[in-house]
Amino acid sequence: MPSSDRPMIRLEGLRKVFFTDEMETHALSGIHLEIDSGDYVSISGPSGCGKSTLLAILGLLDSPTEGDYWLNGHPVAELSPIERARIRNREVGFIFQSFNLIGDLTVFENVELPLIYRGLPREERKRNAREALDRVDLSHRATNRPAQLSGGQQQRVAVARALAGRPSILLADEPTGNLDSVNGEAVMELLDDLHKEGATICIVTHDARYARHADRVINLFDGQVVEEIPKAAAAAN
């Protein structure tokens, strides 16, 4: 767990460049950012501004070209691939726009699967999966397949899957992108409730309605932080 005297996440001068045969694309340029335990941060901006790239780096799915990333006070650059995988599995909960559920598995099996990879004892992982489905009000659909659920229900299963591992931080990449406004708001209200209970959340969204749920709104443009807005100011806009 993070120490109270240091941020959970600290980025200094982060840059990400994608190289091809013909050109180089600067996805992130000089990002400085801190996220404390219990924060609720929204990363916003137009398509192509670097939001998802930044989230992938935060979740150890990608590495920066330059700059420093400290996670709970430890330099991420010094982590081995095995250590990075362990942290992704144990410390980070991912919620994706496309749900990423496995169609051949039941709802319960989808939620339980990451816990199997972690090597949790059977009874513990069953208990964690049940509690996570209870939390998103989908215990009654535990034996259904994803195709038997609505889009909103599938996203709630994705939230339950992220919660089952009891992560230090939840990273959500456009979690409302494939939902209508009613289901989108329902998912955001669920994230609000989790934050009130102490969860650390970082969400990527291009929708200002959903960005305002966060305590801090980080606006990106062309791979740079151009503005940071506290919740009170964001709500007033």
| Domain containing residue 208: CATH number | 3.40.50.300
Q: In degrees rounded to 5, what are phi and psi of residue 201?
A: -130, 135
Report yes or no on 181 lying in a domain.
Answer: yes
Q: Is the separation of the CB atoms in 178 and 18 below 8 Å?
A: no
pTM above threshold 0.85: yes
Q: Are 107 and 183 in contact (CB under 8 A)?
A: no
Dihedral sign, Cα of residue 206, residue 198, residue 92, residue 24: positive
DSSP state of 68: E
CA Rg value for the chain: 18
Helix spans in the chain (H):
51-58, 81-91, 107-118, 122-135, 151-164, 181-196, 208-211, 231-236
- Residues 107-157 have pLDDT tens digits of 999 999 999 988 999 999 999 999 999 999 999 999 999 999 999 999 999
Residue 67 resides in a domain: no
Nearest to 128 by CA among 111, 142, 143: 111
Which residue segment(s) compose the domain that 51 sits in?
38-60+80-236
Kindly state whether residue 14 falls inside one of the protein's structural domains. no
pLDDT tops 50 at residue 3: no
User: How far is the C-alpha of 103 from the C-alpha of 121, rounded, in Å?
Assistant: 24
Structure-token pair, residue 228? 């940071």
Q: Which residues pair with 70 in a beta bridge?
A: 10, 75
pLDDT per residue as tens digits for the range 90-111: 899 999 988 999 999 999 999 9
In a domain, 20, yes or no: no
- Region of 85 on the Ramachandran plot (φ > 0 left; ψ -120 to 50 alpha; else beta): alpha
Number of domains the chain contains:
1
pLDDT at 1 over 60: no
Cα of first residue to Cα of last residue in the chain, in angstroms, is 35
